């Protein structure tokens, strides 16, 4: 039982690979920290594991079977560094949330998502407000692994601590595996069971 | 020392249509005051949604049409009128914007930096400025979608540094950068300050702000609640309970999440907007609270933190 990236290679152009023969395993309930300088392919790795990009070589396995193509809700979900790029700008947030199957009220409450926000368009919310919304969206039932790409990098320390408290609680309750990408070594040390650098 | 920027009692509000044609005024920034001297880095620290970005847009005169600004902004001693702001922005006053979406997605990086200039000098400059921020010459031919988050951020900073500014306003310049790159970028801000520019650093990242700023203005729900020197933080000489909570929430300190959320615009009610979450609140906190000097800084609190060396 695990999410496994096996021998992954990927490049955005013919020349120059961002990732070369990278392997990594994430078990349920595990919190794996990923650090490394910018431009090293941390986000690209998340995109491969979440199925947004196809590896040039290697494969992504869930419980030993190829994860992609994936029908219905994908059990591996990514939360993006820039939430404004992860929502449809022409949909009200309510509609974006409905596409993912809706979020539990308890969750939106814990994330301090105000009901009025759901009637707004993404451009009418601040980055931090939008990110909390994206986290709620990623925590729908059926998700088993969360790839968190610098998800609190744009938040103030108090909100950051609040969000991680909630995510750790959820991860524990639901045995979620978390991949946590961050530049903040103090944060990774607080959160992770294991840290790998890229 | 020359005062580059002086903001006094700045308020920014928006006109919104509530239902149908019913209009309402939404105050986003209230009674904000701060000063940036030449050679100084002043950080404005606050959580998202506290109105920090609007401060930058207000100074630059690029607020949307449905907004209203009151109070006074002076740039190098003279009032910064919308006309003057328009002349100066992009030249003497530059912005490093928050979102990577400020880059033109259909234009390669090189031409974006050169802003239409095609001569050899412009090419040399753009190449040098990219190099200064650790980006190779191949970056010039990249489109924004081909850049990593951190690279895009450095391109935005390079675009601002191309202009040799007197006042640099950086709106959240560091998310997405690794500690070394972030330190380098902040170092460049400090460098620009040493060359005589004033730097206004708008950020939510208290830990990083403290590594570079001389002064820190803490923002809560559109108000300045405290102005402290950077040294006051590790020394425990903090005045406002919110500032204390921010400090304690850092992963390297306590990682303590204070419950509750900052009130949104128009939800503050009267008196101190922090009172509902404040461990030190009293009945008098429902009144109007002035920003007053205390122990070498400023605080907007009737029951400021006492002990800890104050």
Which 59-118 residues of chain A touch chain B by CB within 8 A? 81-82, 84-85, 112, 114
Checking ipTM against 0.85, whether it exceeds it is no
Question: What is the value of pTM for the model shown?
Answer: 0.82
Q: Is the dihedral of CA A176, B179, B173, B221 positive or negative?
A: positive
The residues, any chain, with a CB within 8 Å of residue B32's CB and separated by 6 or more, are B7, B9, B10, B11, B55, B71, B219, B222, B223, B224
Q: How far is CA B207 from CA B73, B194, B306, in A?
A: 28, 21, 23
- Find chain B residues with C-beta within 8 A of A126's C-beta: 48-49, 53
The residue behind tokens 């022409």 is A90
- Find chain B residues with C-beta within 8 A of A114's C-beta: 264
Query: Which residues sit opposite A162 in a β-bridge?
Result: none
How far is A130 from A155, CA to CA, in rounded Å?
11
pLDDT tens digit sequence for B24-42: 788 888 888 889 999 999 9
pLDDT at A189 over 70: yes
- The verdict on a CB contact (< 8 Å) between B249 and A158 is yes
pLDDT at B14: 85
Tell me how far apart the terminal alpha carbons of chain A are, to the nearest angstrom: 24
pLDDT tens digit sequence for B208-231: 899 899 999 998 988 889 999 999
Domains of chain B, residue spans: 1-12+47-213, 237-310
Closest CA to A81 of A197, A175, A184, A193: A184
The residues, any chain, with a CB within 8 Å of residue A118's CB and separated by 6 or more, are A92, A93, A94, A97
- The verdict on a CB contact (< 8 Å) between B148 and A43 is yes
Chain A closest-CA separation from residue B207 CA (Å): 9
Higher pLDDT, B175 or A181: A181
Topology given in CATH for the domain delimited by B1-12+47-213: Rossmann fold (3.40.50)
Structure tokens at B222: 């559109």
**Lowest-confidence pick of A34-48, A83-97, A182-196, B177-191:** B177-191
User: What average pLDDT score do residues B246-272 get?
Assistant: 85
For B48, name the nearest residue in chain A, comparing CA atoms only: A128
- The verdict on a CB contact (< 8 Å) between A156 and B149 is no
């Amino acid at each position: 039982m695990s999410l496994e990236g096996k021998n992954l290679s990927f490049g955005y152009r013919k020349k120059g690979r961002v990732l070369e023969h990278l392997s990594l395993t994430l078990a349920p309930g595990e919190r794996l920290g990923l650090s490394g300088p910018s431009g090293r392919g941390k986000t690209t790795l998340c995109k491969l594991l979440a199925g947004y990009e196809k590896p040039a070589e290697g494969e992504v396995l869930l419980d030993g079977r190829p994860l992609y193509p994936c029908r219905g809700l994908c059990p591996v979900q990514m939360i993006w560094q820039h939430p404004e790029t992860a929502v449809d700008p022409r949909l009200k947030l309510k509609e974006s949330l409905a596409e993912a199957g809706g979020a539990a009220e308890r969750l939106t409450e814990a994330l301090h998502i105000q009901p009025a926000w759901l009637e707004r368009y993404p451009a009418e919310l601040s980055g931090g407000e939008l990110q909390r919304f994206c986290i709620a969206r990623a925590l729908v039932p059926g998700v088993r692994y969360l790839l968190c790409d610098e998800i609190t990098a744009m938040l103030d320390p108090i909100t950051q601590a609040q969000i991680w408290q909630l995510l750790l609680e959820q991860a524990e309750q639901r045995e979620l595996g978390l991949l946590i990408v961050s530049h903040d070594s103090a944060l990774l040390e607080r959160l992770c069971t294991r840290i790998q650098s890229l | 020392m020359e005062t580059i920027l002086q903001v006094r009692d700045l308020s920014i509000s928006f006109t919104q249509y509530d239902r149908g044609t019913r209009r309402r005024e939404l105050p986003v920034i209230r009674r904000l005051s701060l000063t940036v001297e030449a050679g100084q880095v002043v950080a404005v620290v606050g959580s998202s949604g506290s109105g920090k970005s609007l401060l930058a847009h207000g100074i630059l005169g690029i607020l949307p049409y449905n907004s209203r600004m009151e109070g006074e902004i002076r740039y190098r001693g003279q009032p910064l009128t919308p006309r003057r702001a328009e002349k100066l922005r992009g030249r003497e006053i530059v912005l490093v914007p928050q979102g990577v979406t400020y880059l033109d997605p259909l234009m390669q990086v090189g031409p974006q930096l050169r802003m239409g200039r095609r001569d050899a000098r412009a090419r040399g400059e753009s190449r040098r400025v990219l190099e200064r921020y650790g980006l190779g010459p191949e970056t010039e031919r990249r489109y924004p979608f081909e850049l990593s988050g951190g690279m895009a951020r450095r391109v935005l900073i390079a675009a601002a540094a191309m202009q040799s500014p007197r006042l640099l306003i950086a709106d959240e310049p560091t998310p997405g950068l690794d500690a070394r790159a972030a330190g380098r970028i902040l170092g460049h801000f400090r460098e620009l300050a040493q060359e005589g520019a004033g730097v206004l650093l708008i950020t939510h990242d208290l830990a990083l702000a403290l590594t570079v700023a001389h002064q820190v203005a803490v923002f809560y729900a559109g108000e300045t609640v405290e102005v402290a020197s950077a040294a006051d933080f590790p020394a425990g000489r903090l005045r406002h309970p919110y500032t204390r909570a921010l400090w304690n929430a850092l992963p390297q300190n306590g990682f303590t999440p204070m419950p509750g959320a900052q009130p949104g615009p128009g939800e503050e009610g009267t008196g101190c907007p922090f009172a509902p979450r404040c461990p030190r609140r009293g009945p008098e906190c429902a009144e109007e609270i002035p920003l007053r000097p205390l122990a070498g800084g400023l605080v907007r609190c009737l029951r400021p933190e006492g002990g800890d060396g104050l």
